Copies of this chain bind each other. A is one copy, B any other.
């Protein structure tokens, strides 16, 4: 369906909204989403081509940060966990926390953090593989991470039936990053234990 046909098939009200600036439409959708919205989904929601929406998002980021014509905003636009979402500007998080009075979130144990790190870097990875790196049984820790939605079962190994785990978009959101590529680089050791080893000891 072309834009023309599309517009004709919709009612007059939608036509009115499509005559408004793209930035307004993007803001309207961002105000109601309850999880990060991917660029493509956002473009579909505002009936605009992806490049134009990407451009608009960049403009809004600058705008909210005070690099546009208006003042800096108390909120900001972030790309986190594979999508875009409005956040309270970091400077005001304490003020908002004070207002909401939220409870302190349960911290992950050191064992859980290390297991999470192994899974993040080695995914897809089985529990057995994680255990051999951590040199301890990781079953209960994996259960915790699954229950918190930080990791997920990806697929079962076709030969052994062992379940392979990977990280979720929710983990990315919790880390405040947009993709697993944004994890800090870790020693080349991890690519191949045997090869990297020489570097490791002689360094």
So how many copies of this chain end up in the complex?
2
Q: A30 contacts which chain B residues (CB < 8 A)?
A: 74
Q: A136 contacts which chain B residues (CB < 8 A)?
A: 147-149
Q: Which of A94-102, A116-124, A190-198 contacts B (4 or more CB under 8 A)?
A: A94-102
Instruction: Give the distance to chain B from A2, nearest Cβ to Cβ, in Å.
Output: 15
Interface residues of A in 75-109 (CB under 8 A from B): 75, 86, 88-89, 91-96, 98-103, 106
A28 to B99, CA, bound (A): 10
A95 to B14, CA, bound (A): 6
Q: A69 contacts which chain B residues (CB < 8 A)?
A: 69-71
**Contact B17 A106, beta carbon cutoff 8 Å:** no
Which bracket fits the contact residues of A? Answer: 35 or more
A137 to B35, CA, bound (A): 13
Instruction: Give the distance to chain B from A34, nearest Cβ to Cβ, in Å.
Output: 5
A27 to B96, CA, bound (A): 10
**Contact B31 A86, beta carbon cutoff 8 Å:** yes
Instruction: Give the distance to chain B from A60, nearest Cβ to Cβ, in Å.
Output: 10
A46 to B20, CA, bound (A): 33
A48 to B3, CA, bound (A): 49
A113 at interface, CB cutoff 8 A: no
A14 to B101, CA, bound (A): 14
**Contact A32 B101, beta carbon cutoff 8 Å:** no
Q: Which of B20, B71, B95, B128 contacts A17 (CB 8 A)?
A: B95
Further contacts, 4 of them, CB under 8 A, given A27-B73, A45-B99, A135-B148:
A13-B94, A29-B74, A70-B70, A103-B128
A-B contact pairs, 28 of them (CB 8 A): A13-B93, A14-B95, A16-B91, A17-B94, A17-B95, A20-B74, A24-B71, A24-B73, A24-B89, A25-B74, A25-B95, A27-B73, A28-B88, A28-B89, A28-B96, A29-B99, A32-B88, A32-B99, A32-B100, A34-B140, A35-B140, A47-B95, A63-B70, A68-B70, A103-B128, A136-B147, A136-B148, A137-B149
